[in-house]
Structure 1
Amino acid sequence: MRFQLLGPLSIADGQNVVVLQPSKPTSLLAALLAHPNTVVATGYLLRALWDDEQPATARAALQTCVLRLRRIFAKYGIANNAIEAVPGGYRMPADSATLDLVRFRELVRESRETQDSETELYKLKEALALWQGPLLANVSSQMLHRDEVPRLTEERLRALERACDIELAMGRCRQVLVELWEAARTHPGHERFSEQLIEALYRTGRQAEAFAEYRRVKMRLKEELGVDPGPSLQRLELSILRGDDLGPAVADQMALLPPPPPALDQAPALPPAAAQVPPQVPAPVQAPAAVRTVRPTPVSCFTGREADSEAIAERLTCEQAGTPAFVVISGAPGIGKSALAVQTAHRIKDAFPGGSLVLPMARPDGTPVTADEALEVLGPPESRASRSLLVLDDVLSTDQVRPLLPAAEGSAVVVTSRRGLAGLVATHGGLVHRLGTFEPEESRRLLVSTLGRRRVESESEAADELASLCGHFPLSLRIAAARLLTRPTLRIADCAAWLAEDLPARLALADDPRMSVPNILQGALNRLEPRLAEVFVRVGSHERAALTGAEVAGSLGSGPPAEAEEILEQLADAGLLEEGPPGPYRMHELLRCYARRAAREPGRAQRADAPG
């Protein structure tokens, strides 16, 4: 025989369950079971039965309720001493076999003590399965519904929150969506469920739905409470707008599931002095100078580049006797090199049982990570596992890469860089994959994946015009889509017209300097010698988009054509020009817009204050 408190109050015997009828004895039983193995004060029980309207004979009536409850127990074969009369009140002994609340707390405690995520999740799921519907639905006590139901519900929500965190960390985003939808709608004041739901939607490629859910939460908080979403939700919103790779989800092990509250009407026992000091948790080991690796994870709303990804994947996974596979992905700033590399690495990670890692080779301020710093993180090449995959992202020079190349047969390296790194390829072999802009159909698919098919198809021509204004650059398209996401009533045509008035300056998000075409291009120029940056501006300001070395030499007014051609070669290698000998050099129209703007602002090309 056992009592079930976590739902309608009931008594169970095996598979037979009797739900008690609303009555004073039922309220009394609920008050006792909510504090098992604890002396429940008489005053508390009186409030549970009559709230603030206690009759003059309330204490005698309480004793009568106890007798009636014992008669109910006898009817179901429960011992008479199941309720103990003690000085100051009553106590109801219970253990995990006789009360679901005790079993729930026991399972939650065991989940906290385990070191294995699968076991922890199993324990939490078992604990949550004990909840059988609306809490105390058949209990009429207003005081219990006002004071006890929220407290017990909070214990369940903490456990559910923790379970969802673990599932997100395990990559089970689709599996947990249904549970999160229900939790977020049922408990709108519990902001963490909304955050988890938005994260799960985003991680499963449903960026538009994730942002719509954020706006719904933001509007509710503003209308009902006059406040903004918390910092964590705001950071998540920013990541969605930027199309960030969130990296692996992390399930925080610390203090998400606190122990149950102290016993009613008793002062909590003070722990020993040493126990009052929280344990010192070792800080995670960080790579020196903020250099760290991450695992390749799916890129949100990744579209297009199927042929590119297939060619790179085939090169990386093909068997090559005695030499690791090596691919360089190069191209203009904002062309999507990193996204392609990470998405492809994630797609083929199973072909590399030794593991897959991504290491950024430039810091947020544009300064390079040295080979020595990278080696401190990766370890020497001979110490690494065979058949591993390494992505070196945003490489600035060949000197960063050479000491890091793996020695183990069957391993592979992907390098992304604005430069072609021809010298590295010449000495180590490999494939150079130079990215161009999106095809128009790829641009449309990116807009559909972020804005939703209905919105794009309702303004089909305007969407094509927007993609053209963005130069079919993935970065520009994401910035424009983010602006439209934050303004759901803004027409695509109106957005395109507004952008066209001042390109590329308006291809920027005010709250993140990294989501800015001008800043990205300025960062690219900051990596060049001043002479090269000056030539870039002059070439971009020329009335013709395609120029030869001789024409550039003539426009510069000094130096032979061979010298001008050498400068143009360096600009092409930096991803700022296309084509080249034997044909003319060309500059993409979006870059020409920036160059013309820079020409109107003397000294802009030499500034070094924009992030790279």
Structure 2
Amino acid sequence: MRFEVLGPLSITDGMESVVLPPSKPTNLLAALLLNANGVVSAEYLQRAIWGEEQPAAAKAALQTCVLRLRRLFVKHGVVDTPIEAVPGGYRISAGPRSLDVIGFRDGVRHAARLAHTPELELRALKDALALWHGSLLANVRSEVLHRDEAPRLVEERLRTVQRVCDLELSLGRCGEALVALWSETRAHPGNERFHEQLIEALYRSGRQSEALTEYRRVKGYLLAELGVDPSPGLRRLELAILRGDDLGPSADGVRAVAAIGTADVRRSPAEDRGDPPLPVVPVPPVPSFTGRAAETAAMEAELTEARDEAVTILLSGAPGIGKSALAHHVAHRVRDRFPGGRLHVPMVHPDGRPRDATEAAAAVETALRVREPGAPVLLVLDDVVDAGQVRPLLPAVSGGAVIITSRRGLAGLVATHGGRVHRLSTLEEEDAHRLLVATIGAERVKPEEAAARRLAALCGYFPLALRIIAARLLTRPALGLADAAGWLADDPLARLSLADDPGLSVIRVLDAALDRLAPRLADAFVGVGSLPAAAFPAQDGVSALGTGAAEAEELLERLVDAGFLEEGPPGPYRVHELLRAYARRAAAAGGPRPETTERA
């Protein structure tokens, strides 16, 4: 029997295939197969099956689900791929004959060993792609798997299709390449490499006007949807077509062929753990960005005035304070200074675990490899957890720049590598008001000016909270601002969330931030955050923590570094109002959750 995950999850005996119905056991099986031959933790399986809202007795429910899946195996005659209970979770063992995704990856590796014979390599890659069938995991109703696992598989397929097209172009088979490229460019409009291959195939086929039309189409899309210019490769190709140049052998195809046997086919440590690959993508635009005029001006000057040396800028501050938005906004404003591109590099996994520094460095190196040599590049390293993640990446941007966003102060990095530091606080009242006007429209705010200002105050002037309430208002056009403010005032923390996106919730964001702290530090924040005043002297912090002065000072300083407190000696410490409300809520609920582990 063979499992198939490169399409609807199914079981086949080679003659007939059974597509499993959407169910909890189907979610469980998909999670195990996508991490075959490795231990999958019980906690991850529970999230894959039930999502973030798990049953009260999730461990017992998981055991029941495993039992149901084993019965399903018996029903379909699956005897050589058992589910094993191991310390910490479960494991399913599989090979290329029993699981199509392993067969696909083995086929790609086999093709890499045939790079010296393009015909044989092309045939091997097409055989590997033939294992894909239909919509990926169409019958698996798990948001966690579609968010964390499916993108990795899609990326592997896209890389393989790109290699196939490069080989076909290098062999002069432009017509065959066009068949795949028409559909791939429409399915993945932001993938510039597919567009480059399509334009090249059209031009090599004698269809110059169509090639130029396609270039103008993708250029318009990139500017309108992503706010970026076409890649240097696309621009060079357009110029060659306008000149009527003979492209000669497909240089890009040759380079891609040579690269197949190197980094692209090796699995990183993160992939071996079942983590999705690190996405390094163009910096996304920020809709309706408002405020931060002083910080924006200072960062623009810092990035544009230094011409001969790399620039490092650190943006720190509390969770939800708008660090990423400011970094992306500034990156787009200085686009002319960085013709090599502006790249966004997320430094944590979706569950909050820090990315491995080696993996991040390899992903950045791969992304830079396709950029124009010598052209300055701007990297946005988003949500950095510690200085160790950053140091391996700094040499990669010689002559370019890095913007680091982090809740941490990263003073050690600043001490050893220098850089400019901007610590963000909440928005000014007028900027917060302007953000609401920009997002929901002046025509809606003007009749209820006072209510809009009350909404901004209830959001604590936090950009994340303001974006959430604005999204709620936009999707409820008949809802009055005064009514929304009255509703929000009853429980701002709980109601600053969006039903269709659990990640856009103030409580969830702060929960995740608290999870990064050591238990002692999380308890300290709840203690000082529950003090009667938002600003308090160090001595009040000592009293609230019930420790000696030296230990209390250490805890308070670490909370400042982690973004949960502001300022400190010789002046008072301060807690942002939204964080203070969260601390009071945590205190009423009995303090931080017991599973909190140290990450900061």
TM-score (norm 1): 0.54
1:595 aligned to which of 580, 583, 587: 583
Distance 1:318 1:110 in 2: 45
Displacement of 1:439 after TM fit?
A: 1.5
Larger radius of gyration: 1
1:566 aligned to which of 547, 550, 554: 554
Cross-structure match for 1:423: 412
Displacement of 1:346 after TM fit?
A: 2.2
Q: Is the 8 A contact 2:279 2:346 kept in 1?
A: yes
Output the amino acid matched with 1:378: V
Q: Does residue 1:292 correspond to 2:341, yes or no?
A: no
Cross-structure match for 2:299: 312
C-alpha offsets along residues 558-588 of structure 1, whole Å, 9 cap, x if unaligned?
x222221111111111111111111010101
Output the amino acid matched with 1:444: H
1:345 aligned to which of 325, 331, 335: 331
Distance 1:468 1:120, change over 3 A: farther
| 1:406 match: secondary structure | helix
Q: Does residue 1:374 correspond to 2:360, yes or no?
A: yes
Cross-structure match for 2:524: 535
Distance 1:441 1:118 in 2: 48
Displacement of 1:348 after TM fit?
A: 1.4
Output the amino acid matched with 2:347: M
2:349 aligned to which of 347, 351, 363: 363
Displacement of 1:555 after TM fit?
A: 2.3
C-alpha offsets along residues 10-58 of structure 1, whole Å, 9 cap, x if unaligned?
xxxxxxxxxxxxxxxxxxxxxxxxxxxxxxxxxxxxxxxxxxxxxxxxx
Distance 1:173 1:320, change over 3 A: closer
Distance 1:605 1:582 in 2: 32
Distance 1:407 1:604, change over 3 A: closer
| 2:336 match: secondary structure | helix
Output the amino acid matched with 1:306: A
Q: In percent, how many aligned pairs have the same letter?
A: 51
Q: Is the 8 A contact 2:313 2:404 kept in 1?
A: yes
C-alpha offsets along residues 371-391 of structure 1, whole Å, 9 cap, x if unaligned?
111122123999895422111
2:322 aligned to which of 316, 336, 346: 336
Distance 1:482 1:361 in 2: 26
Cross-structure match for 2:45: none
Alignment of 1:438-477 (within 5 A): 438-477=427-466
Q: Does residue 1:170 correspond to 2:219, yes or no?
A: yes
Displacement of 1:556 after TM fit?
A: 2.5
Higher deviation after alignment, 527-536 or 338-347: 338-347
Displacement of 1:318 after TM fit?
A: 2.3
Displacement of 1:465 after TM fit?
A: 0.5
Displacement of 1:118 after TM fit?
A: 6.0
Cross-structure match for 1:575: 563
Displacement of 1:173 after TM fit?
A: 7.6
Distance 1:563 1:295, change over 3 A: same
Distance 2:364 2:583 in 1: 39
The CA RMSD measured in Å over matched residues stands at: 4.1
Displacement of 1:350 after TM fit?
A: 2.2
1:414 aligned to which of 393, 400, 403: 403
Alignment of 1:27-426 (within 5 A): 112=182, 169-172=218-221, 288=271, 289=275, 290-319=277-306, 323-379=309-365, 385-386=373-374, 387-406=376-395, 409-426=398-415
Q: Is the 8 A contact 1:362 1:395 kept in 2?
A: yes
Distance 2:520 2:196 in 1: 58
C-alpha offsets along residues 109-146 of structure 1, whole Å, 9 cap, x if unaligned?
99959965668999xxx9x99xxxxxxxxxxxxxxxxx
Cross-structure match for 1:12: none
| 1:365 match: secondary structure | coil
1:523 aligned to which of 485, 489, 512: 512
Displacement of 1:408 after TM fit?
A: 5.6
Output the amino acid matched with 2:313: V
Number of aligned residues: 371
C-alpha offsets along residues 229-270 of structure 1, whole Å, 9 cap, x if unaligned?
xxxxxxxxxxxxxxxx9x99xxxxxxxxxxxxxxxxxxxxxx
1:494 aligned to which of 453, 458, 483: 483
2:471 aligned to which of 473, 478, 482: 482
Distance 1:311 1:569 in 2: 27
Output the amino acid matched with 1:581: P
Distance 1:332 1:307 in 2: 19
Q: Is the 8 A contact 1:526 1:606 kept in 2?
A: no
Distance 1:424 1:442 in 2: 31
Distance 1:381 1:426, change over 3 A: farther
Output the amino acid matched with 1:523: A
Q: Is the 8 A contact 1:548 1:584 kept in 2?
A: yes
| 1:364 match: secondary structure | coil
Distance 1:167 1:476 in 2: 39
Displacement of 1:608 after TM fit?
A: 4.8
Output the amino acid matched with 1:414: I
Displacement of 1:314 after TM fit?
A: 1.5
Distance 1:469 1:382, change over 3 A: closer
Displacement of 1:605 after TM fit?
A: 4.2
Distance 1:355 1:203 in 2: 13
Q: Is the 8 A contact 1:324 1:410 kept in 2?
A: yes
Displacement of 1:540 after TM fit?
A: 1.3
Distance 2:202 2:317 in 1: 44
| 2:395 match: secondary structure | coil
| 1:359 match: secondary structure | strand
